[in-house]
Every structure is written in structure tokens, then in C-alpha cells.
Structure 1
């Protein structure tokens, strides 16, 4: 089958919003090519990037998605262009906002993921390893084998890395964890390997649910992690000691109003995917809904927030 690889050149600020627009228009997932992040990997010396040079232009982020190459493509491209223009009307810097596309076959798509995804120790204990590489776990390490497929989340992006490092200090043996917008399932798998007894990994995107289920099985945590499709927490039963939401600020603000009885007394939420410019919006929404902000972590223009449930 042929696919259209659609590329949008945008800004760091608008990356997650552009990703969401692409998925709303039918993409199963996105590829984010961030030259600033690539430069950091090259400088780290962790991998052999002998054929890659550092990028001088680091302000432009390219977001790629894959749509079926069919009669609906032209309409989707027009719709995408209109939605990108709407970002500017809302005061969001979309960068160039240019859209291009090229035809690819399934084999090209599947190999795209492997060019920049390599084994990396993300936290003090957590190692993220693609399924096609080898790694011998060191003392105290937990290893997550991952094939992101068409779903976002490898542990390399700042938002996911922030969450992983924070989870190492938050997850306690026996706790219940809900992971909203699970993507590839990486955070759910990390929570399970850190000792959580029950993890509900949910996503609105059915492709993400399928990818997460495969990764959960690959890591042998299917007795702990249950995957499913849900609009936020609407299809999740019970209460969690910890709710993870690595999504975007607008959805997090909405989550505060819908979390209702899903958070156990004294429970916490780990919220990430927040552009620093939108951090105050999240903090204000937390206060409005009776949550107490315990900690804010920042990295590379992104923020993660830990809030504790409060009584209004």
C-alpha cells in the first residue's frame, strides 16, 4: 500500500499542536525531527553518528505524518493548511507552517523510526531500548523494550524523559496508575516495572492502543498493564494513586475538570507535554479545581508538573 508522507515545518512551540492536528485528520502517529535534539545526541557521544553532522538551523522542527494516498488526500491537505493558519489567529507561533508531501511504501515507513532511535538510559534506573538493539542490563536498571511503530513516545523527547525520571521517584510498590494518552505505552511499562500493581493505559487513538498493547506484551507486563481506548478517563473504572498525562496543555486543563472520582484521596497527577509558555495556564487550572502544585520540572522549553488532589 502507498502512503503520503506529509511534512510540516513548524516551531518548537507549536510542535505538539501540529502533531495533534495531523492525528485529528487521520494520521496514526507522527515522526518529530528536531535538529536541536539531534545535536544533543551527537554531542553526547553515546552513539556512533559518524555520518551525521550537527545542524546549524535548530529553530525549525519538522513533523511528519502518514496518510493513505487516496482521493481524500487533497481535502486533508487543504484542511491542514487552514488549521495551521488558525494557530496564528490564536497567538501561537507556527513557524513557517509549510506543508509538503511525498509518496512512500510501507517498508519505507517502518524503517523511518530506526534512523534516530537508539538505546538510552533516560533516568537513574530506566533504560529505553529499541527492540532491534541489544543491551545487557546493569545493576538496578530496568529495561523497557520499545517499538514505537506509529505511536508517539520513545523516551527521547524532553516531555517523556521528564516523566520517566519523575516516575522513578513517584511510583511505589502496589499502587494503581492511570496513564492518559499512553501513546506507545512507554510510561505505563515503566510504572509497571517500577512496581505498580495495576496500570490502565488508555488513548483515544486506536492505533496507539494497538502499538501500546504490543509493547506491553513485548515487555512481559500484560498482567499489570491493561490497554484500552478512552476519551481521557471516561472508560476507566476505579481510582488511581497516580494519574499520568503526557499530552498538551489544553487537554490537561480539560482533564482537571473531568478527573472527578478517578483520583484516590491524597493521590497525585504527573502532567507533562506542557510548553513553558502555557505553564501558567495549567497552574491556574490546577488551583481552580482544588489541586496543590507540589513540584514543577523544566527541560528544553517544556515543563512537567506534579499536583496533589485537594478538597475544594
Structure 2
């Protein structure tokens, strides 16, 4: 059997630009990414205490610039990757107009498949979010602390969305706060499926997840099956709300401000009376733009969370 080799494109950036760059990579046809963010490790270590897990390897933070994040995109060796590098650089030039992207450099190297297939696992550990949500990778052992704990087993498999990033954790907290037993939930741009799986485990009767990225849908399906919620959550590859023809109690979108602004124009068509739109991935500098779009399109913001440089909100139809 031939040893498959991959081209690794490593983008040096900052935490606040991770969501926007990841979304841009998906749009230019690069679904397989790895995010190496020292801040995610530090965040998990901060959350540790003597009643929690204590097996984060602190060596992972040694000799790392905690201000620098590496987004690694992987392409088969026979891909015309020079064209992709140009597209990436154009995307970075656009994103840096409204976000600090740090160095914004793109480095290229070649490696064997086995070298990257499992390397990211060392950065992904159990994490408590909200009141009762516990995100656990399948390869880690974990004993539930109490009966109310909602354990979500996640293998991101290079699809963005592990729960560690502020935008994802805020979404999970808002879902936990507002979901009611029997709710119908739509997860727009579902990535790894984490938000939909959490909704299913928190009592939703039906969850639909959609994503443009075929790889993300594949990974999400694996995660759905691992969590035994396949009877509740269905996944589709498609362009946001184009594949949905029903209404939900909650629509959740963890994307970027521009897409949320666009969604605000049509989301009410997909919400039941008193339905809730939970939106995250909003960089603080774009929050006012999102607020104005919500107001213009008949949505009242009823809750707002802020973590680091990011914001998430919950909105309902104006009375």
C-alpha cells in the first residue's frame, strides 16, 4: 500500500481570528483542519481543581507563545495547493481588515498521514461547560460526578468545534439555559455536531444539523452515533437554511458576524412562535452591526454573553 503524503499549510494567527479563518478555509474547499491554540490548554488548566480531572500535560505549554495560534490545513500531496495558498492569503487580507490576525503567515511542508492523524489528540481533554455539560473525548476515562451531568463524547476529527473555544462554550451555555424538553432545534453550520448533540442530550425531541462541509457532516455523524442520539439528530450537507423546510423552537448558529447578519433576515421564517435564535462567533467589534441587523429584521435580543473578544446572544421575535 502506498504511504499517503499530505501538504500541511500552517497559518500563524491569533485566537480572535480562528473562527473567521476556519470559516474562510471551508469556503475555499479546505475542510480538514487542526487548530493548535495554547489558550485552549491554558483555559482547561484554569478550570482544574481537586474535584476535577488533573491530567492536562503542562509540558504542552512550554516554549509556546500563548499569543500565537496555528491553524493547520491538510491537502493530499497531488492537490494544486499553490492555488489554495493564494486563496488563503486573499482571505487573510480580507479578514485582517476587521480582526487582528497576528503574523498572518502561511508555511508549507510535507508529512506522512500517520504523523498528523493523532497528533491533535494531546490537546483535547475533558471540559466542564455551563452547569452540567461535560465534553469528553472518547479516548479519555471519566467517571460522572453526579446524576445531573450531561456527558457529550466528542471526537472532533479535524472538524471545528470541540467546546474549548469561547464561541462554542457560550452557545452551549445558552442552549442549556433556554432549551425545554421536546424542543425542535436547528444547528446551522454544525461543524463537529457538538451543539446539536448537546441539544439532544438536554431534552430536544428533534435536531437537524446542516453544514456546507462534507467532511464536517461525516465527522458529526460519527459523533452523533457515538453519543447514541442518531434517533434525534439528523445531518445534512447544504447551504445553511436551504435544506430545511420546517420550523424550530431554537435555531443556533455559531459562525461569524457577517453570516449571522445575513441569517437574521430569514431566520424568523424557520422559528415557531416565541422561538429563539442563538447566535455566536461574533467578534466584539462587530456586535453593534449584529444588534442593528437584529433590530431591523424584527428580533429582540433577550440575552448577551461575552467572553474574551467574542459575543453570543439569544434573540426572539419582537412583540
Give the TM-score, by structure 1 length.
0.93
Tell me which residue corresponds to 2:131.
124
User: Contact 2:137–2:153 (CA<8 Å) still a contact in 1?
Assistant: yes
> 1:251 and 2:266 equivalent?
no
Select the residue among 5, 9, 13 that pairs with 1:10: 13
Tell me which residue corresponds to 1:162.
170
Residues 87-124 of structure 1: CA deviation (Å, up to 9, x unaligned): 34x34432211110222222222202201101122221
Deviation at 1:186, TM superposition (A): 0.7
Tell me which residue corresponds to 1:229.
237
Deviation at 1:201, TM superposition (A): 0.8
> 1:266 and 2:274 equivalent?
yes
> 1:69 and 2:58 equivalent?
no
Write the distance in 2 (CA, Å) between the matches of 1:42 and 1:223: 35
Tell me which residue corresponds to 1:49.
57
Select the residue among 139, 151, 158 that pairs with 2:147: 139
Select the residue among 177, 195, 199 that pairs with 1:187: 195
Deviation at 1:6, TM superposition (A): 1.0
Write the distance in 2 (CA, Å) between the matches of 1:29 and 1:63: 10
- The change in CA–CA distance for 1:71 and 1:183 in structure 2 (over 3 A counts) is closer
User: For 1:234, what is the secondary structure of its paired residue?
Assistant: helix
Tell me which residue corresponds to 1:112.
119
- In the alignment, structure 1 segments of 5+ residues that lack a partner are none
> 1:97 and 2:100 equivalent?
no
User: Contact 2:221–2:235 (CA<8 Å) still a contact in 1?
Assistant: yes
- The change in CA–CA distance for 1:140 and 1:278 in structure 2 (over 3 A counts) is same
Tell me which residue corresponds to 2:313.
305
- In the alignment, structure 2 segments of 5+ residues that lack a partner are 49-53
User: Contact 1:180–1:203 (CA<8 Å) still a contact in 2?
Assistant: yes
> 1:212 and 2:202 equivalent?
no
- What is the alpha-carbon root mean square deviation over aligned residues? 1.8
> 1:238 and 2:246 equivalent?
yes
Write the distance in 1 (CA, Å) between the matches of 2:56 and 2:103: 32
Comparing both chains, which one has the higher relative contact order based on Cα–Cα distances under 8 Å and sequence gaps of 6 or more? 2
Write the distance in 2 (CA, Å) between the matches of 1:91 and 1:269: 25
Deviation at 1:51, TM superposition (A): 2.5
User: Contact 1:29–1:152 (CA<8 Å) still a contact in 2?
Assistant: no
Residues 206-253 of structure 1: CA deviation (Å, up to 9, x unaligned): 111111111111111111101111211111121000000011111111
